[in-house]
Structure 1
Amino acid sequence: MTIRVVVADDQELVRSGFALILDLQDDIEVVAEVGDGAAAVAAVRELRPDVALLDIRMPVLDGIEACRAIAAQSACRTVMLTTFDSDEYVYEALHAGASGFLLKDVRRDDLVHAVRVVAAGESLLAPSVARRLIEEYTAVTARSAAGAGAAGAGAAGAGAVSGERLEVLTARERETLLHLGRGLSNAEIALAMVVSEHTVKTHVGNVLAKLGLRDRIQAVICAYETGLIAAGAGGGSAVPPSRE
């Protein structure tokens, strides 16, 4: 099965370079190259690709708004591209529906791998981008707490909400969500929980389905938003390890 891709970047050399790398693969076909977000949305609507590579900063319509429109109008999955790993729009882009986030200096093999992973329904974050996501969420949480003027009451309220939302999960599924929030792969989760990768896949699927999450990226966000992992706590949690 051929993976159909739209590449959107306002820098022609970058756009053409990514397209050339992808077109050289037997299982990938670049169906359109465009220079702005509005053209990307139109290309996705007309050509129905599997994946759209979107520069996060583009004229006419930026990558975030293009991503949001694509997610609302189609089943096409998006990978956001940026020049800097300190891009302040990482958190917003993931909330808009992005399934992956890569730096533009990504190695060609990693770019191809990312397209294949996202097309298969998974999600992917460059490690430095994952750190940025956590830092951004921590900053947002701190600003919200300061604005509320009552940090203690706010924390208690957040805990109650998270408890209610996560009640649908079993203890093992909560532990799986914790590891997802820390950015662990299925193989790493299997080692941490002392179970098979097949069992981990089952747990991950249950977590996503029960919480209404699209992919692992949303699971990372959920782990922080619900308080399962405390912002700024370095991935700590009160969930104890257990054996199956």
Structure 2
Amino acid sequence: MPEETETPAGAPIKVVLVDDHAVIRMGLAQLLAAVSDIEVVGEAANGEEAIAVVEATRPDVVLMDLQMPGMDGVTATRRIVDAGLADVLVLTSFSDNERIVGALDAGAVGYLLKDADPDDVLDGIRAVSRGESPIHPRAARALIGTRAGSTNVQLTAREAEVLGLVKDGLANKQIARRLGISERTVKAHLTSAFARIGVADRTQAALWVERHGL
């Protein structure tokens, strides 16, 4: 299991930009260059390049587009997260449920849309570095809409296992040790599970587990 590393206090958040449109990467790079607490350490135009750049630079956060030629963002996200290389924050134009769930299932810990305010992108990167899971309101509504009127929430076996340990009061590091996975993978499962069951934090998740007898 790859060892978790933490950004030293005061060090900038290292980011890799992944998008097949050079003009978008340039705009994002200019946006991030204007702040002192975030540093772009690499760029990629598709999933294959993203994995290579992430392996070489070991960023804290990967800002990932979804639709790209060759390997798409969902596949790249899964490989990056499964290898414990970095946290992935999706930045895309798509807000349909299928893509959102696909990205979260792959291990993304946040989901932003390209029409977001620039400050929201900056805040999203900072939130991911703090261990939070920023999701654009429109994406969140799409997830909630699919659950409206239905009590049949489909969790993966691992999501259910992680939620059960959250109910037992275990922290992410303890869950990671118990299951033999990285803390990043635990966070990814929690982000996906929270979105599926419609909760915003661990306390609400624990109550949901109690009510549903998971």
TM-score by length of 2: 0.69
Report the count of equivalent residues.
178
Q: Residue in 2 aligned with 1:186? A: none
The residue that corresponds to 1:147 in the other structure is none
How far apart, in 2, do the equivalents of 1:105 and 1:78 lie? 19
Q: Which residue of 2 aligns with 1:214?
A: 187
Name structure 1 gaps, 5 residues minimum: 143-154, 175-202, 225-235, 240-244
State the shift of 1:34 in Å: 1.5
* Change over 3 Å in CA distance of 1:24–1:205 after alignment to 2: same
The residue that corresponds to 1:134 in the other structure is 144
Partner of 2:55: 45
The answer to whether the 8 Å contact 1:56/1:62 transfers is yes
Q: Deviations over 1:209-234 (max 9, x none)?
A: 4997425523414636xxxxxxxxxx
Per the alignment, in what secondary structure is the counterpart of residue 98 of structure 2? Answer: coil
Q: What is the Cα deviation at residue 137 of structure 1?
A: 6.0
Q: 1:107 aligns with which of 104, 111, 117?
A: 117
Pairing partner for 2:96 from 60, 78, 86: 86
Q: Take 1:3 and 1:101, find their aligned partners in 2: how far apart are those partners?
A: 18
Q: CA deviation at 1:109?
A: 0.7
Is 1:223 matched with 2:167? no
Displacement of 1:86: 2.5
Please state whether the residue corresponding to 1:88 is helix, strand or coil: helix
CA distance in 2, matches of 1:39, 1:85: 25
1:89-121 deviations in whole A, cap 9, x for unaligned?
Answer: 110110100011010111111100000110121
Cα offset, 1:167, TM superposition: 10
Change (3 A) 1:34 1:86: same
> Normalized against structure 1, the TM-score is what?
0.61
Residue 205 of structure 1 deviates from its aligned partner by: 4.4
Q: Give 3-state SS (helix, strand or coil) of 1:121's partner.
A: coil
Q: For the aligned residues, what is the CA RMSD?
A: 3.5
How far the C-alpha of 1:84 sits from its partner, in A, is: 3.0
Deviation of 1:63 (Å): 0.3
Aligned-pair CA distance for 1:88 = 3.0
Q: Which runs of 5+ in 2 are unaligned?
A: 1-10, 180-185, 199-207
CA distance in 1, matches of 2:195, 2:120: 23
Match of 1:33 among 35, 38, 43: 43
Distance 1:26 1:86 in 2: 34
Instruction: Specify the structure having the higher radius of gyration (Cα).
Output: 1
Q: Is the 8 A contact 1:88 1:136 kept in 2?
A: no
8 A contact 2:88–2:108 mirrored in 1:
yes
Letter of the 1:117 counterpart = A
- C-alpha change, 1:26 and 1:168, in structure 2 (3 Å) is closer
Contact 1:9 1:34 in 2 (8 A): yes
Q: Give 1:23's match in structure 2, choosing from 33, 40, 59.
A: 33
The alignment-based identity, stated in percent, is 34
* Secondary structure of 1:218 counterpart: helix
